[in-house]
Amino acid sequence: MSKQNQWVVGVNAVASAIENDAGHVREVLVETGTRNPRLIEIEEQARRRGIEVRRVSAQALDGIGGNVRHQGVAARYAPARTWSEHELPGLVEAAGGRALLLVLDGVQDPHNLGACLRSAAAAGATAVVIPKDKSAPVNATVRKTSAGAADRVPVVTVTNLARTLRDLKKQGVWVYGLTGEVDPSLYDLDLAGNVALVLGGEAEGLRRLTREQCDALVRIPMAGDVESLNVSVAAGICLFEALRQRG
């Protein structure tokens, strides 16, 4: 990942970043001369948490916000720690036969990716694996949505997801894909050992080459007429079923 600055802009986004992830916010920019009480409150909260605050012109904020309305405030994040695909085998080995991997095949909404990372961190996942292409990058929006989880769980970006799954199986990892088009249930799986849970993106679901590398395809049983779940909700269900089985 590039080491360039990562920004979030807007009152709600910056307030959330300071509240949930202050440790990774490096500075807050507030529009000079503002009398907006929300902005003044954000400035005070940032200073209380030891975050540098600078007053800048509206034009300077325009350059940061791009097409997103900055509403007079922006926050800069420190660059995220990056994990290469060459480090993934070591992470699996260090888990001692209880590796829990969340593999996301093309999740492109940064809010969904952030929510998945938050669930992964809460469930004690070993790592989250994403492809370099057709995936949201771990940017400031992802990190804000993850409430700091993006810096607590390794996010490994890989060039070829199908090849990575093949290599994981050689390492003794069972690879299970989630889809609504099959009969076997998630709850029939043994998730106590080395496991990779593979979920597809918002639009296409699991791609063909990804499906072909799965040891089994299973579904999350649902009542009613709902055809599918949001990917972050599905990820949470799968991860916490694995956590439940692990005691």
| Domain ranges, ordered by start, for the chain | 6-77, 83-245
Instruction: Report, as an integer, the average pLDDT of 101-122.
Output: 95
Can you give the pLDDT at residue 6?
82
- Residue 18 counted as an annotated binding residue: no
**What percentage of the chain exceeds 70 in pLDDT?**
98
Can you give the pLDDT at residue 1?
35
- Residue 197 counted as an annotated binding residue: no
Angle formed at CA 102 by CA 183 and CA 208, multiple of 5 degrees = 55
- Class of the domain covering 83-245: alpha beta
- Residue 148 counted as an annotated binding residue: no
Can you give the pLDDT at residue 102?
98
Spatial CA neighbour of 115 closest among 149, 78, 151: 149
pLDDT at 187 over 90: yes
**In whole angstroms, what is the distance from residue 210 CA to residue 205 CA?**
10
pLDDT at 217 over 60: yes
Here the tokens at position 175 are 């690879």
Can you give the pLDDT at residue 24?
84
pLDDT at 233 over 80: yes
Superfamily of domain 6-77: Ribosomal protein L30/S12 (3.30.1330.30)
